Structure 1
Amino acid sequence: MAHDHNSKEKVVYVGDSRVKKYKKNNVPLDYSAYPGNSEAFIPNFLLKEWMVGSVFLVGFMILTMSHPSPLGYPADPTKTDFVPIPDWYFLFMYQLLKYPYTSDAYVVLGTLVLPGILFGALMLAPFLDTGKERRWYKRPIASSLMFLSLFATIFLTMVSWQGYQHELEELNIIPEHLERAEKIAAGLEEPGGKEAEPIAIVNKESEGYEIYQKASCVSCHAVDLNGVSSMPSLLGIGDKHSKEEITDIIYNGFGSGMTGQAQANLDAGLTEADLDTLAGWLAEQKAPAGEEAPEEATESH
């Protein structure tokens, strides 16, 4: 440029051609620039799917740890009052196989053909439905099949569960995991599935035990005091009732489930002194120190 101080002189800057100009653009292209005018599968779409899957997996693990799966007892082929049922996510298939056209002579249709068509169509959906429209109401065929499948799955699951509950009520069966929870709450079983140590009969050589074996009590509560069928155990009853209370139960009954048994025992040959001895012996039936008597002992029949 000029070296004098003329303000009207034009100033021209000459750049150095040895310095290269780099143009950096860190902003990714819009999805419309990609083939098909959609989001790039790798890495954009795949990364989002992985993130959603990871969140779902963490939530599922937390749910599994906070609510352990209900466990029944070991399989017993001689148990005839067991009602089998699959996990909840297979209830719809379980119900489907109950219908005549998917069982018996058509069992292959219900177990192989129909599930194969459904899951095969799900796998082929991206190849069969190649339209670019994303709004569900503008894709009538795909949307109708989706809603139909969703409705059928929910309906079959509900019908299967209601049928299972109805069957339990008809057969008067308590599911094994509920039965185990009740036993754990009553102290008859430990949470790990280990049977709790039974409470032993106290003073088995006493005259009271001989009288008990002759009394009508033994027909409902068994010789070992463990109870028969739905009748409660008398082991540890001394922790719940005193001798006076047991005497009152023998004469007047207990609640609405038991009537007084004194007269029946007197008619069978026992005396009032025998019943007093029996009440005293039953009051001695207490759990060892550090153990609790089962709740069933409070409902002496």
Structure 2
Amino acid sequence: MHKGKGMKFVGDSRVQDKSYRNTIPKDYSEYPGRTEAFWPNFLLKEWLVGAVFLIGFLCMTAVAPAPLELEADPTNSSYIPLPDWYFLFLYELLKFEFASADYVVIGTIGIPGLAFGALLLAPFLDNGPGRRPSERPIANGMMLMGVIATVWLTYVSVAAVDWDKRDAYSVANAVEHEVDQEHPGYEAYSNNCMSCHGENMTGNAGLGPSLAETQMQKDAIKDIAVNGIGDMPAGQFDGSDEELEQLASFIVENTKSAQSEGEGEGSSE
């Protein structure tokens, strides 16, 4: 038999003919309120809800922008950094004895890992068909415990912070720092320190930190000026011992804390 001769091609009812596929969405009117077409009905509703939340979020950020603080100063030991509000509960957790110091791994990895792991496993541990809270005790119980712990730890952390004191570090409430250019040590500062620490001791990004908040004493300042510290090499100061003493006095007397004390004494007089 030659190829192609004596052969018949018949249609197979098991194979769906694509030309007969219905491109019109199904009519779900028989099941009102239970289901609907994904496109465009359901997807359009999702887009509308997402747009409302997005516009609301943008309005909130415009009315109440995120509070910004001044650039971190490694020489200011009185400043206590705080994480953003949504991490305050983890910050408070690290204050407990069993979650800090030698047990810091438990506080940073162990407890949060167990908590989030339990929330991830909750749907698998409680997979009953019921949708009422009473019919999902495991999932709802874990969720309530997580919410209560987060809210309580956040509240305790916020209550322990001296917010009036922290306002001084806010960019919005920051007062421009000015130094006394008539001070005998200003010339030594301008010749040896100004290029890295700024004209008003507020620092230069990438060169030197701010000295306006420093609480170091004169001896420590003189030692750093001569011998250096950290990324600051030794031999930066080029002057006499008298100029070094004047430089240390200038820095100590022109910090923000020293200026505020001077203003307070002047006002009391």
Instruction: Tell me if structure 1 keeps the 8 A contact 2:119–2:139.
Output: no
Q: Which residue of structure 2 lines up, in the alignment, with residue 181 of structure 1?
A: 172
Describe the shift of the 1:174–1:130 C-alpha distance in structure 2 as closer, same or farther (beyond 3 A): closer
Give the unaligned 5+ runs of structure 2.
Answer: 1-23, 183-252
TM (normalized to structure 2)? Answer: 0.51
Shift of 1:94: 0.7
Matched, 1:83 2:80: yes
Q: Which residue of structure 1 lines up, in the alignment, with residue 54 of structure 2?
A: 57
Q: Which residue of structure 2 lines up, in the alignment, with residue 101 of structure 1?
A: 98
Letter matched to residue 120 of structure 1: G
Structure 2 SS opposite 1:175? helix
Q: Distance in 2 between matches of 1:85 and 1:123?
A: 28
Q: Which residue of structure 2 lines up, in the alignment, with residue 74 of structure 1?
A: 71
Describe the shift of the 1:106–1:200 C-alpha distance in structure 2 as closer, same or farther (beyond 3 A): closer
Choose from 116, 120, 124 the match for 1:123.
Answer: 120
- Deviations along 1:158-189, one digit per CA (max 9) or x if unpaired, are 01111123xx68xxx343444x4345xxxx54
Letter matched to residue 72 of structure 1: E
Q: Distance in 1 between matches of 2:65 and 2:42?
A: 34
Instruction: Tell me if structure 1 keeps the 8 A contact 2:118–2:142.
Output: no
Describe the shift of the 1:49–1:26 C-alpha distance in structure 2 as closer, same or farther (beyond 3 A): closer
Letter matched to residue 103 of structure 1: S
Letter matched to residue 105 of structure 2: V
What does 1:1-301 align with in structure 2 at a 5 Å threshold?
Answer: 27-28=27-28, 51-165=48-162, 173-178=165-170, 180-183=171-174, 188-189=175-176, 228-232=259-263, 258=268, 301=269
Q: Which has the larger radius of gyration?
A: 1
Letter matched to residue 71 of structure 1: L
Shift of 1:90: 0.6
- Deviations along 1:198-248, one digit per CA (max 9) or x if unpaired, are 9999xxxxxxxxxxxxxxxxxxxx89xxx8333439xxxxxxxxxxxxxxx
CA RMSD of aligned residues (A): 4.1
Describe the shift of the 1:42–1:104 C-alpha distance in structure 2 as closer, same or farther (beyond 3 A): farther
Shift of 1:111: 1.2
Q: Distance in 2 between matches of 1:115 and 1:46?
A: 35
Q: Distance in 1 between matches of 2:153 and 2:140?
A: 20
Instruction: Tell me if structure 2 keeps the 8 A contact 1:72–1:177.
Output: yes
Instruction: Tell me if structure 2 keeps the 8 A contact 1:39–1:45.
Output: no
Describe the shift of the 1:113–1:72 C-alpha distance in structure 2 as closer, same or farther (beyond 3 A): same
Q: Distance in 2 between matches of 1:181 and 1:199?
A: 24
Q: Distance in 2 between matches of 1:132 and 1:64?
A: 41
Could you tell me the percent identity over the aligned residues? 42
TM (normalized to structure 1)? Answer: 0.46
Describe the shift of the 1:150–1:72 C-alpha distance in structure 2 as closer, same or farther (beyond 3 A): same
Describe the shift of the 1:230–1:137 C-alpha distance in structure 2 as closer, same or farther (beyond 3 A): farther
Structure 2 SS opposite 1:83? coil
Shift of 1:31: 6.2
Structure 1 SS opposite 2:81? coil
**Aligned length, in residue pairs:** 173
Instruction: Tell me if structure 2 keeps the 8 A contact 1:73–1:176.
Output: no
Give the unaligned 5+ runs of structure 1.
Answer: 1-23, 33-37, 190-194, 202-221, 234-253, 259-300
Instruction: Tell me if structure 2 keeps the 8 A contact 1:95–1:156.
Output: yes
Q: Distance in 1 between matches of 2:85 and 2:56?
A: 18
